[in-house]
């Protein structure tokens, strides 16, 4: 991936039970393109399943 300015031009998210997965198409100056794979997980404290 180049170290120049780039933007996310396409993005696809998949929500799973414990994770959120994404594939992003990045386009940079000079017509270069790259794929980025992302994983995120919600905070344990933000989970609605916590009973007290």
Enumerate the domain spans of the chain. 6-42
Selection from 41, 40, 38, 29 nearest residue 11 by Cα: 38
pLDDT per residue over 1-52, tens digit each?
A: 556 678 999 999 999 888 889 999 999 887 889 999 998 887 654 545 544 4
What pLDDT is recorded for position 13? Answer: 92
Q: Are 8 and 25 in contact (CB under 8 A)?
A: yes
Report how far residue 22's alpha carbon sits from residue 19's, in angstroms, rounded to the nearest whole number.
Answer: 10
- Encoded tokens for 6: 């780039």
């Amino acid at each position: 991936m180049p170290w120049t300015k780039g933007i996310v031009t396409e993005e696809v998210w998949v929500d799973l039970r414990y994770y959120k997965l994404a594939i992003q198409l990045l386009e940079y100056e000079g017509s270069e393109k790259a794929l980025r794979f992302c994983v995120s997980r919600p905070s344990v404290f933000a989970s609605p399943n916590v009973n007290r």
